[in-house]
Structure 1
Amino acid sequence: MITPEPPRTAEQRLRDTLGRLRDDHDAWGATASPDGIPCLVPLWFAWDGTTLLMATRRTNPTAVNVTPTGAIRVTLGTPRDVVLIKGEAEIVEGPDLPTADGDAFAAKLGWDPRQRSPWVYLRVTPHTVQAWREANEQAGRDLMRFGTWLLGPSSPDRSAVLPS
């Protein structure tokens, strides 16, 4: 039998979530085709305090599916410590990416897809962020709704979430 950890406070969940966004390297990105066929893939990502920047090939279903609607879901962690992000993604071609964003992505992940055709970036703007570990955290899992953090400032300090 698995003994659940005690529930975290909302403030601790937010700190843990921002830490994952800052420190994790991989996330699961989910999109769907216009016919409703799902596509779930692991993607590298960097967080700038407001958006996630992810990279994939332009021809992969993930990027193709983003084009019509922009809808995307992203998850970090494990089933017993999950961060679920629902948002909108836009395609950014490597040459169109601001230099600072590309440099931050390359510094965090150790590779730079800007000059690798057909690689593109997905800039994901979160609308909803939820985090929970066990059933005892389900009730307070919402950390962001309608693009606004429910605790603290509407946009956390970028220095707290960018790689050093």
Structure 2
Amino acid sequence: MADHEPPHPSPRPRAQRKQDVLDRLATEEDIWVATASTDGEPCLVPLWFLWDAGAETDAGTLLFCTKRNNPTARNLTPQSEVRLSLGHTRDVVLIDGTAEKVEGTDLPTPSADAFAAKLSWDPRGATDWVYLRVTPRTVRAWHEEHELKGRVLMRDGAWLA
């Protein structure tokens, strides 16, 4: 008997991939956040997040919170680029976007309330913490090699499905 990979199921249509991504963004709590310092030193950390579907843009944004002196926050300058990742190597979601720092006092109440409700943590009044809001520009999702074609679900901040 020949050693070979089992056949993969049919690739998910783009609309199904988008829905799967939105479901994961709504339910998962942790996401990998990649930034780089001005001298190119990479930083990759897991952070709790909220998918803020109704905030800031029609496409939604992601909201994090970290200590303002942590490398992730220090690496972000106005209009900083960031890469986010959900999942393992056989169920990938990659998000490229623009990050901005938002002080707890400047965060809209509905966003801060939703963050606190989802994560059972409300850092609004802590001055050593800062929120990070990421506006997605590109979203890609795939299950293994058989779904590489059609993996781009968002381009230039607009959903394709």
Tell me the TM-score normalised to structure 2 length.
0.89
Tell me the TM-score normalised to structure 1 length.
0.88
The structure whose RCO (Cα within 8 Å, separation 6+) is larger is 1
1:47 corresponds to which of 44, 48, 51: 51
Specify the code of the residue in structure 2 equivalent to 1:124.
V
Q: How far apart, in 1, do the equivalents of 2:100 and 2:14 lie?
A: 30
Contact preservation (8 Å) 2:83, 2:96: yes
Task: Tell me how far 1:69 sits from its aligned partner.
Answer: 4.7
Q: Which residue of 1 aligns with 2:117?
A: 107
Task: Tell me how far 1:117 sits from its aligned partner.
Answer: 2.4
Equivalent pairs counted in the alignment come to 151
Q: Which residue of 2 aligns with 1:29?
A: 33
1:94 corresponds to which of 97, 104, 107: 104
- Render the CA deviation track for 1:57-101: whole Å, top value 9, x for unaligned: 100010111125511001111111111000000000111111111
Q: How far apart, in 1, do the equivalents of 2:117 and 2:152 lie?
A: 31
Structure with more of its chain in helix, by fraction: 1
Specify the code of the residue in structure 2 equivalent to 1:36.
G
DSSP-derived class of the 1:16 partner: helix
CA 1:2/1:16 → structure 2, altered by over 3 Å: closer, same or farther? Answer: farther
DSSP-derived class of the 1:35 partner: coil
Q: How far apart, in 2, do the equivalents of 1:2 and 1:108 lie?
A: 40
Larger radius of gyration: 2
Percent identity over paired residues:
61
RMSD: 1.4
Q: Which residue of 1 aligns with 2:152?
A: 142
Which runs of 5 or more residues in structure 2 are unaligned? 54-59
Structure 1 segments of 4+ aligned residues over 3 angstroms from their partners:
1-5
- Render the CA deviation track for 1:101-154: whole Å, top value 9, x for unaligned: 100001111111111221111000000000011101111100000111001xxx
